[in-house]
Amino acid sequence: MAFGIVKWFNNHKGFGFIESHEFDTDIFAHFSEVEMIGFKTLQQGASVVYEPMQGPRGWMAKNIRVIAAPATQDASTPVPVETKGSRLRTPQFRANLITQGL
């Protein structure tokens, strides 16, 4: 078993990379190797344990398990909001309008 931290993971494509503590290279991670119930994904910064395996294109992770979730952003830190003209570009804003009946 090897330990690492998720460098990035793309939910739409179903893969990403793990920064390995044991290897000098990043380890390929595919969603099919993530051991969890429900939607199989990895969050950037999560600590994971996995079985390294040499694949045809380099190292890949097998039997990936999350052992610690990534640190969350402090609630007191404001989240930047993108605007385009006068329109607010966040899904939360649109959801609030719908629930308020606007």
- Measured distance CA(27)–CA(34) in Å, rounded: 13
From residue 68, how far is each of 10, 60, 63, 85 by CA, in Å?
19, 20, 16, 40
Q: Strand 87-88 relative to strand 58-68: parallel, antiparallel, unpaired?
A: unpaired
Contact at 8 Å (CB) between 46 and 5?
A: yes
pLDDT of 95: 54
C-alpha closest to that of 18 among 53, 79, 91, 100: 53
- At 1-26, the pLDDT tens digits run 999 999 999 999 999 999 998 888 99
What is the structure's pLDDT at 32?
94
pTM above 0.85, yes or no: no
Does the structure show a pLDDT above 90 at 31? yes
Bridge partners of residue 68, in order along the sequence: 47
Query: For residues 26 and 17, is the Cβ–Cβ distance under 8 A?
Result: yes
For 60-93, what is each residue's pLDDT tens digit?
999 999 998 887 655 555 555 555 555 555 555 5
- Domain ranges, ordered by start, for the chain: 2-68
Among residues 71, 68, 64, which one has the least CA distance to residue 14?
64
| Domain 2-68, CATH class in plain words | mainly beta
The pLDDT value given to residue 36: 87
